[in-house]
Amino acid sequence: MPVVELSYTRLQKLVGKVTKKQISDSLPFLGLDIESENKDSVRIEYSPNRPDYSTDFGIALGLQGLLGVKTGIIKLNIKKSNKYLISVKPAVTKIRPFVTGIVAKNGTVDDKTIKQLMAMQEDLHFGIGRKRKKSSIGIHDLDKIQFPLVYTTTNRNHKFIPLNSEKEITVSEILSTTDVGKDYGSLLGQSSQVPIILDKNQNTVSFPPIINAAITTVTTKTRNLFVEVTGLNKDDAEDMLSVVATILQTAGFTLESVNISGMKNSSPKLESKKISVNSSLINQSLGLNLNSSKIISSLKKSRLDAISKGTNIICTIPSYRFDIFGPMDLVEEVALGYGIHNLEPTLSPSQTIGNTNPVSVKLKSLDQTMIGLGYLEALNSSLTSKRILYEMTNRIPSKIISVLDSKSQEHTILRDSILPGLLENLSRNIHESYPQKMFETGTVFQYDDPISEKINFSGISAHKDANFTEIKSMLQSALKIGFGIKIETKTVIHPTFEDGHCATVILNGKTIGLIGKINSKTIENYKIRIPVVGFEVSLSDSIL
């Protein structure tokens, strides 16, 4: 979850007439988790579906609603203008077909605002921009740009001075030497042409989705902004633009339109949409009995507008709230505006009778039986390593099921057997007193186009007199008392067990497992200095 750092005094100024405590008490009820607080500064986590909460301007809008300072929709006032034109050339169609934009004038940006805007940009890129693949954004100093602009492509030898640089370098150099170039260059594929926005004098404004030109850098002296968004899809690009437009208007800028044309591109409207929701769906879902006016006032506290028409509530949703898909999203908006803390939990008697799954019942009775036999239950991960599963126990791997890119070396493959894990457990307990007797029941995995999951049961006994007879007696009793079944054993050779002290476990003529004395090679691998006997049987097909 993304994190944003805020200042209480700045928030108070933006929200108006509220105390610091009112703010800190309300943040969680907007869905914002306070991660840490330090005097005036507070770090909060917000959901990636609410990119408007990536700045204190957006959070202030939410707080105003919840605290009743200002409610209802935030309307975008976009002044029509013919001064700002972008024409789109056919060459971009196959690479990054859409561009959109807006102009924001007569505002002031201090260091904190710049920091907030940068953070918002990064969060938009990561979340709805899908790491800049779907859409990406550039914010520029308007006064450094000569309109009209052209959105076109250029070759990789095209040169300009990119952001945070002092000298002119080529597109290829940007992609191979800068951090952003290395991180996002792959989005451009192998194409020899790359997208570029050029101004009237052929000066580079932006090289989307990688980097802006240095000349348009926004500083505290900047008063007028130009925002462009490029992307694979017109709607996604406009969604992103609407968040920025709303935030900039809230920050005190006046918005002016940008005219866009060419190759299915058009000027953004950033209009609100209407969704209707039946009040009975709201009341049923929340377990409340609210009348229309209460529903409407709750929606307004969530910074939406609504009117009632019969039992329907017709809701107006600003363009930056593209997280709202349909009626159920409005149910949540009502709940938030109403206040989650005002929802009193109720408990109606259950209409259903609960049941434990029969498999769980059987496994639990097996646990009880094993405890009666003096065995302690162990739990190991299903995701383990080749070392434990094969190397230490001398087992020969067949079809290993491995996971991709594990961050942990000890967790790279799925276990096909439980016993090796128990032996590893013994090796970690050589300083503890003997006898040591442990068992485990759990899932094992086998390749079966794609995978079959079975429940196995394994146990080990380690002490100075441990022998085959003991472990066979134990398993025989466990299965007889646990499930009323009778097993037989038949000589076999296995790399983990000692020859002549190893057998298959047979139930009704079918082999279900192995039992025996662990051989000295395995024991020595684990530096265990005491005899160990053990078994493993499959429960899935024949017993459970």
Q: Between 103 and 240, name the residue whose CB sits nearer to another protein.
A: 240
Q: Does 122 participate in binding another protein (rule CB under 8 A)?
A: no
If the CB atoms of residues 247 and 544 are measured against another protein, the closer one turns out to be 544
**Shortest distance in whole angstroms from residue 238 CB to another protein:** 11
* Residue 437 is a binding residue for another protein (CB under 8 A): yes
Q: Strands 149-155 and 85-88, how do they pair?
A: parallel
Antiparallel, parallel or unpaired: β 78-79 and 254-257:
parallel
- Nearest Cα neighbor of 282 from 265, 273, 270, 294 is 294
How many whole angstroms separate alpha carbon 81 and alpha carbon 85? 9
- Centre a 10 Å sphere on the Cβ of residue 224 and count the other Cβ atoms it contains: 18
Binding piece for another protein, criterion CB under 8 A, among 57-65, 344-352, 466-474, 518-526:
344-352
Nearer to another protein, 410 or 488 (CB): 410
Of 481, 475, 544, 478, the C-alpha closest to 515 is 475
Residues 100-119 that bind another protein (CB under 8 A): none
Give the whole-angstrom CA distance, residue 240 versus residue 232.
12
- Environment class of 358 (CB within 10 Å of its CB; exposed 0-12, middle 13-18, buried 19+): exposed
For another protein, the closer of residues 3 and 215 by Cβ is 3
> Radius of gyration over alpha carbons of the chain, in Å?
33
Q: Which stretch binds another protein (CB under 8 A): 206-214, 424-432, 463-471, 492-500?
A: 424-432
Using CB under 8 A, which of the segments 229-237, 303-311, 500-508, 530-538 binds another protein?
229-237
- Footprint of another protein on residues 351-390 (CB under 8 A)? 351-357, 359-360, 364, 367, 370-383
Site string for another protein, 126-155 (x = CB under 8 A): xx--xx-xx---------------------
Stretches 272-280, 409-417, 479-487, 516-524: which one binds another protein (CB under 8 A)? Answer: 409-417
User: Which residues within the stretch 45-74 sit at the binding site for another protein (CB under 8 A)?
Assistant: 47-50
Q: Counting contacts by CB under 8 A, is residue 453 touching another protein?
A: yes
Euclidean distance between CA atoms 490 and 512, whole angstroms: 12
- Minimum CB distance to another protein smaller for 137 or for 142: 137
Instruction: Give Cα separations from 237 to 85, 91, 135, 272 (angstroms).
Output: 17, 19, 6, 16
Candidates 116-124, 167-175, 438-446, 532-540; binding stretch for another protein (CB under 8 A) = 438-446
Residue of 79, 200, 264, 341 that binds another protein (CB under 8 A) = 341
> Which DSSP letter does residue 363 get?
H
Residue number with CB closer to another protein (403 or 493): 403
In the range 389-408, which residues lie near another protein by CB under 8 A? 401-408
Task: Give the CA dihedral 243, 244, 245, 250, nearest 10 degrees.
Answer: 90
Q: Out of 336, 487, 502, 507, name the contact with another protein by CB under 8 A.
A: 336
Query: What residues between 3 and 32 interact with another protein by CB under 8 A?
Result: 28-31
Q: Find out whether 260 and 101 touch, Cβ atoms under 8 Å.
A: yes
SS3 173: helix
Site size with another protein, rule: CB under 8 A:
91
Minimum Å gap between C-beta 421 and another protein is 8
Task: State yes or no: cis peptide before 51, omega within 30 of 0.
Answer: no
Interface with another protein (CB under 8 A), residue from 189, 345, 484, 509: 345
Answer for which of 36, 233, 280, 511 binds another protein (CB under 8 A) is 233
CB of 33 to another protein, least distance (A): 8
E strands present in 426-531: 436-447, 451-462, 488-491, 497-507, 510-518
443 binds another protein (CB under 8 A): yes
280 binds another protein (CB under 8 A): no
Sign of CA dihedral 489, 490, 495, 498: positive
